[in-house]
Chains A and B, each alone.
Chain A
Amino acid sequence: MTDHVLTYMTFFPLAGMGVVLLLPRERHDLIRWVSALFTLPPLLLAVWLYGHFDPTKPGLQFIEKFRWIPDYNIAYFVGVDGLSISMVLLTALLCFLCIFASWGIDKAVKGYFALFLLLDTGMMGVFVALDFFLFYIFWELMLLPMYFLIGIWGGPRREYAAIKFFLYTLLGSVLMLLAILALYFSSEPYTFDMTVLIAQNTKYGTAALPFWPFDRLGWGFQHVVWMALFIGFAIKIPAFPFHTWLPDAHVEAPTAISVILAGVLLKMGTYGIMRINFPMLPAATAELAYYFLAVLGAWNIIYGALCAMAQTDFKKLVAYSSVSHMGYVMLGMASFTSQGINGAVLQMFNHGTITGMLFLMVGVIYDRAHHREVDGFGGLAAVMPVYTGVSALALFASMGLPGLSGFISEVLVLLGAWQKYPILTVLGASGVVLTAGYFLWTIQRVFLGPVNEKYKTLPEINGRELFTLVPLGIIVIILGVYPNAILDLLRSSLDELNRTVIPYLS
């Protein structure tokens, strides 16, 4: 059992999909409960993993490896280190909670939950895969259900959103595939094994390529591959200017899918950069991080915050706030300091829980009022006090209020970034003020003020909704008070990661 814990975690939901498909399609409750049952074991295993992971070792743990397609040196190779275990925890948790957030889906229930479970497997796989080929398969596996989940169960403009999402990510996938093949054919012997590719990271050339525009930029093979991978990942993050799929996808997607999108999918971008770009292409990383991670990250923070301020759709507002918050991750990891990179990964985790809460919270109000116009509410605090309390927790955590988890990661990121890019840090930190501005304004418009007569009788948040929100809220508080709960996992792995890049920094 313990030898294959990652495999079980990854494929349990897939088995669940099989079971769900065999269930009669009109037994909605049965389907829901079976889905919940099949997302619970990964969560329990993730907790077990958390307990048994040895945080003092920087390397990979819980490795499983066997030859899969030996002709092309493709292996089934999974394992976790500090970077991925945090993401695995997040994925397992959010997937479990999102099943409950999906309870209200009543259109083609069977298909929805089957696709959801497939998505779960895809996401988990991305975070545990250590073979490039496997990684790509999971990456694409996740794209497909996402497309259908948005395109079928989404809002009024779902087709547009789904296709936009699909095209954007497909573009990213194509570039990534090219980069993967480029790395494969420059490895010796040909291999998709990430650990081997990392061990060979000095081999990929940095001499400028002899054709335009690379000769002008002084870019070598490494840089080109880096850029291809980066664009693939940047679309997922989403970094400016590849971010416009996000608001549309979020607004149209059903609540649980928004949570998954923001909570897990966005992390794949930054995870990929840290898992692949950093150790495999350290020279290019050292050269390009400033322009494409730090500057873009700071710009993301401010730009996302400003765009969020202008939104009137609650969900769109939260979506743009994600753009802003992911900027911190980029800025933090570009600093190559212990605080910065740990803060970045912690921010990924925190953003997952906090934004998850925010989307769940928007979902609650949307289910009741059937619209999301920020200006259309008012005085909800008097109507739904418990809901207001939980929402306030989420909103303040997102603002980076000290004592809650968002603060820790933002401070670490900015503290780390300051040591390399003080000016960008000042810009990034000003995002904190803007964030406070638009969220407070939102609180004021939605929750405060005189009660809107139309919504005087809205029912209070119910037990199921609380069940999805409260665990996240507890995590948000615990990590604010005791961030070592996650930082301990990350520290040694990420410091090791830093050490691979630092020698190349000029």
Chain B
Amino acid sequence: MEHPVPTDYLRWIVLLPLLGAATNGLLGAGLQKKLGKWMISLLACAPVVISFLLSLKAFFDLLGLKPEERFLLDRVYAWLSLGTLNADVAFWVDPLSAVMILVVTGIGGLIHIYSMGYMHEDRSYWRYFAFLNLFTFAMLLLVTADNLLLMFIGWEGVGLCSYALIGFWYQDHVNARAGNKAFIVNRVGDFGFILGIFLIFWSLNQQGHGTVTFREMQRFVPLLEGQEMWGIGVATLATLLLFIGATGKSAQIPLHVWLPDAMQGPTPVSALIHAATMVTAGVYMIARLHFLFSLAPVTLAIVATIGALTALFAATIALTQNDIKRVLAYSTISQLGYMFLGAGVAAYGAAVFHLMTHAFFKACLFLGSGSIIHALGGEQDMRKMGGLRGHMPYTFWTFAIAVLAIAGTPLTAGFFSKDEILWQAFSSEHGSALLWGLGVVVAGLTAFYMFRQFFLVFFGECRADSHTRAHLHESPKVMTMPLVVLAAGSVVAGWIGLPAAFGGSLFAGWLEPVFGPHQEAHGSAGLEISLMLLSVAVAALGFYLAYLVYFRRTLAPERFSSLAGGLPYRLSYNKYYVDEIYQFVFVEGSLLLARIGAWFDLHIIDFVVDGSAKLTAFVSWLNGLFDDYVVDGIVNQVADSTFAAGDKFRKIQTGNINSYLYVILGAVVITMIIKLRYWS
């Protein structure tokens, strides 16, 4: 299709970070030694910043187009074309992916800059940035791909980079194992995802329109209605399979186990990958394929339920964790649950909106915690922190804003996006009061555990040892500036998505070309406002509890932990023992199967093979015996009698070649006599 604007700059949005990764990955070690770390930083940060600028250009180019044809397509080359399968390397930017590339390059850029300070002491500085760039590339590929297969490259690529960055300090086995876990759990999800792709392609192919390209899929997907496989509607089955992929990437039940462990990586990585961008890929994917998910109400219900349950489940675990990053990790899972809740009630716009605001405040929280960990020399246990407010003013204030945002304080970004989701959960035709109720409970829990963390870290006595305390310092500018920007975003980003009751959402309008016209809410504006007030009240209750327990210390935490015999506390503290169960069932299970397989090879198949060889040997041994005793016995007998009878022929029986010749000759003669006598 002809475009009024040239589009071939789109490829550079994606490819520049790849170039950065390639130069740093191949030449980084040498460059770092010869020219110093600034060269690495330049090579790594410049591409991301340029990508961000190009993304802005793409955004404005889109603005310049009529809403109904708002997309840019940059087709690079034909990648796979076999039979009816046609997948190009092509980059596609529509309003949805425009949001994503802005988030990825924007927040990604900030985190790159932050990392320059955070990772400054590390020997493998170049390796870190190579992977960070590679990650940015993969994520951009994921969000700009114009077909499912290309998207899958990004999908797995981010998994790979996540693996490499979680295990960045690979000399410690714990880190390496955490990386493995992340990759394998993601692989399980990817397994579902790829099967989903197959199913979609195959069933569209049945209709004569085999395709994996999003735009064509959108056109032909209605054909799938009524098609069945294994007694389930194809659309339902395909979306369920894709959703397995989403649970893997976005850490939803039951594949959430990798994300808390992923905190073993450097903190900026946690911020970029495990909070702001990669984990939202599942949400993006559902939004991208909204036309397909909308065909499958069953899947939507499952998505919403899983989302709500994950939100609750992760929030309850976050209540009791002591590791500063683990609390944030569970809070991420919980927030992702919100997004899935939104997507599950077909409020894709709200889900993407929350994705964006969450990216701001969660990145801010993680980078803030990174700043704290940096200041404390690597300490991550909140029980050994406290009273940091005075030492780290920038970190304190930005962290405070982000906590307010995530807790859903009115007028912050989190408030608008979360309430949009809750309202949709209540009012949408796919929603219900129960889902809404769960969401509100989680809002209260979120407020509690976030303020618990906030108070534990910044207020009260400093519980760190004296040596660490002496070295307390605010982080350098290069780290605090991104925090300030992100904190500002945590407030401002929400204002583009005001609820309908307050004048309507710019953001929803922007996404309208993708998701279709905004759904008419079933409830009135009054109902929306009162529900909003209710959730704010619940969040305030959470805040108040945290305030009492951890700030005023008028309520002892033990009052909660000893509740019902301490069982809920222990369950939460031990993450409901999910890791242990998985370890036992899946890891040990597959190892057991593996050993059985190897045993079978060694003892059954090889037994048969070696056995047949031995059997052959045995038979030939028997044969030998037969020869020795029976055949030779007869022959010897004959020979002996010949010997005894014909002493005169002794001379020719010399045992040399002559005797054999005679025997042969004799045999021939006898044969010929017989032949001539009887057969002619």
A102 within 8 A of B: no
With an 8 A cutoff between CB atoms, is A441 at the interface?
A: yes
Nearest residue in B to A414 (C-beta to C-beta)?
B198
Assess whether B78 is interfacial by the CB under 8 Å rule: yes
Q: Check A422–B85 contact: CB distance below 8 A.
A: no
Given known A411-B149, A433-B188, contact A449–B180 (CB-CB < 8 A): no
Cβ contact within 8 Å between B198 and A415: yes
Whether, in the assembled complex, B591 has its beta carbon less than 8 Å from a beta carbon of chain A, the answer is yes
Inter-chain contact A437/B195, CB cutoff 8 Å: no
Judged by a CB distance under 8 angstroms, whether B549 is at the interface is no
Chain B residues 576 to 611 lying within 8 A of chain A, measured CB to CB, are 590-591, 593-598, 601, 605-606, 609
Partner of A310, one of B81, B84, B201, B591: B591
CB <8 Å contact, B152 and A436: no
Q: For B597, give its contact among A303, A418, A484 (CB under 8 Å).
A: A303
Q: Which of A164, A343, A433, A443 contacts B187 (CB 8 A)?
A: A433
- B170-A448 in contact (CB<8A): yes
Question: Are B170's CB and A484's CB within 8 A?
Answer: no
Residue from A402, A418, A444, A487 having most chain B Cβ neighbours under 10 A? A402
Residues in chain B near residue A432, CB distance under 8 A: 187, 190-191, 194
A309 within 8 A of B: yes
* Chain A residues with CB under 8 A of B78: 484
Residues from chain A with a CB closer than 8 A to the CB of B25 are: 389
Q: Which of A310, A433, A483, A491 contacts B594 (CB 8 A)?
A: A310
- Tell me if B198 and A425 are in contact (CB < 8 A): yes
The answer to whether A448 touches B198 (Cβ under 8 A) is no
The verdict on B184 contacting chain A, using a C-beta distance below 8 Å, is yes
Give the Cβ gap from A487 to chain B, nearest Cβ, in Å.
7
Say yes or no for B284: interface residue by CB 8 A criterion: no
Using A309-B594, A412-B80, A482-B79 as known contacts, say yes or no to A444 and B176 having CB atoms under 8 A apart.
yes
Query: Interface digits, A146-175 against B, CB 8 Å rule (1 contact, 0 not)?
Result: 000000000000000000100110000000
Between B152, B157, B194, B195, the greatest number of chain A beta carbons within 10 A of the residue's beta carbon is seen for B194
Nearest CB of chain A from residue B648's CB, rounded to whole Å? 51
Counting chain B CB atoms within 10 Å of each CB, the highest count among A396, A403, A429, A434 belongs to A403
Among B16-66, those with CB < 8 Å from A are: 25, 29
Interchain CA distance A247-B170 in the complex, whole Å:
30
A450 at the binding interface (Cβ < 8 Å):
yes
Chain B interface residue number, banded = 35 or more
Nearest residue (CB) in A for B229 is A422
> B484: shortest Cβ distance to chain A, in Å?
36
Question: Given the complex, which residues of A lie within 8 Å of B591, measured CB to CB?
Answer: 309-310
Residues of B contacting A419 with CB < 8 Å? 202, 205
How far apart sit A367 and B489, CA to CA, in the bound complex (Å)? Answer: 56
Residues of chain B within 8 A (CB-CB) of A168 are 609
In the complex, are the beta carbons of A449 and B176 less than 8 A apart?
yes
Interface size on A, residues (CB 8 A): 64
B167 within 8 A of A: yes
Please report which residues of chain A, range 415-442, place their CB below 8 angstroms from some CB of chain B when the two chains form the complex. 415, 418-419, 422, 425-426, 429-430, 432-434, 436-438, 440-441
Report the minimum CB–CB distance from A472 to chain B (whole Å): 17
Residue of A nearest to B167 (CB): A448
> In the assembled complex, which residues on chain A have CB atoms less than 8 Å from the CB atom of B167?
448
Known contacts A433-B184, A433-B187, A436-B184; A491/B82 CB under 8 A = yes
B322 to chain A minimum Cβ distance, whole angstroms, is: 26
> Is there contact, CB below 8 Å, between A415 and B153?
no
Is the CB of A374 closer than 8 A to any CB of chain B?
no
A449 touches B160 (CB 8 A): no
A402 touches B184 (CB 8 A): no
Q: With an 8 A cutoff between CB atoms, is B83 at the interface?
A: yes
Q: Is B647 interfacial (CB-CB < 8 Å)?
A: no
B323 on the A face (CB < 8 A):
no
Cross-chain contact A482 with B77 (CB below 8 angstroms): yes
In the complex, A500 has a CB within 8 A of chain B:
no
Q: Quick one: closest B residue to A498, CB to CB?
A: B83
How many Å lie between the Cα of A342 and that of B80 in the bound state? 11
Whether B85 lies near A415 (C-beta < 8 A) is yes
Given contacts A411-B149, A415-B198, contact A342 B184 (CB under 8 A): no
Q: Which residues of A229-244 are within 8 A (CB) of B?
A: 241, 243-244
Query: Known contacts A385-B29, A411-B149, A437-B590; is A306 also within 8 Å of B605 by CB?
Result: no
Docked CA distance A430–B80 (Å)? 23
Contact status B180-A396, CB under 8 Å: no
Is A411 touching B194 in the complex (CB atoms < 8 A)? yes
Is the CB of B330 closer than 8 A to any CB of chain A?
Answer: no
Q: Do A381 and B82 have beta carbons less than 8 Å apart? A: no
Contacts of B195 in A (CB 8 A): 418, 425-426, 429
- Which of A247, A310, A402 is the one whose CB lies under 8 Å from B153? A402
CA distance A448 to B177 in the complex (A): 9
- Whether A402 lies near B172 (C-beta < 8 A) is no
Contact with B along A336-359 (1 / 0, CB 8 A): 011100110000000000000000
How long is the Cα–Cα vector from A379 to B601 in the complex, in angstroms? Answer: 31
For residue B198, give the distance in angstroms from its CB to the closest CB of chain A.
4
Question: Given A307-B597, A487-B82, are A415 and B191 also a contact pair (CB < 8 Å)?
Answer: no
Q: Point out the residues of chain B lying under 8 angstroms from A426, CB to CB.
A: 195
A83 on the B face (CB < 8 A) = no
Interface-central residue, B171, B188, B198, B205, by most chain A CB under 10 Å? B198
The yes or no answer to B360 lying at the interface (CB within 8 A) is no
Bound-state CA distance A226–B229 (Å) is 33
Per-position binary interface string of chain A over residues 285-324, scored 1 when its CB falls under 8 Å from any chain B CB and 0 otherwise: 0000000000000000001001111110000000000000
| Pairwise interchain contact A402-B79, C-beta atoms closer than 8 A | no
Assess A450 versus B605: contact at CB under 8 Å? Given A303-B597, A411-B194, A415-B85: no
- Is the CB–CB distance between A418 and B80 below 8 Å? no
A365 within 8 A of B: no
Question: What 1/0 mask marks residues of chain B from 150 to 175 whose CB sits below 8 Å from any chain A CB?
Answer: 00111111001001000100111101
On chain B, the residues within 8 Å of A133 by CB distance are none
Whether A483 and B80, one on each chain, are in contact in the complex, defined by CB atoms closer than 8 angstroms, is yes
Q: B-side interface residues toward A, CB under 8 Å? A: 25, 29, 77-85, 89, 149, 152-157, 160, 163, 167, 170-173, 175-177, 179-180, 183-184, 187-188, 190-191, 194-195, 197-199, 201-202, 205, 229-230, 590-591, 593-598, 601, 605-606, 609, 613
16 contacts between A and B (CB under 8 A): A164-B609, A309-B591, A402-B152, A411-B149, A412-B80, A412-B82, A432-B187, A437-B184, A444-B173, A447-B170, A448-B170, A448-B176, A449-B170, A449-B172, A450-B171, A450-B173
Beyond the given A306-B598, A310-B595, A419-B205, could you list 12 further A-B residue pairs with CB under 8 A, ordered by the A residue number?
Answer: A306-B596, A306-B597, A408-B80, A411-B194, A418-B201, A419-B202, A433-B191, A440-B180, A441-B180, A444-B176, A449-B171, A483-B79
- Please list the residues of chain A having a beta carbon within 8 angstroms of any beta carbon in chain B: 164, 167-168, 241, 243-245, 247, 303, 306-311, 337-339, 342-343, 379, 381-382, 385, 389, 396, 401-403, 407-408, 411-412, 414-415, 418-419, 422, 425-426, 429-430, 432-434, 436-438, 440-441, 443-444, 447-451, 481-484, 487, 491, 495
A-B pairs, 3 with minimum CB distance: A338-B83, A309-B594, A310-B598
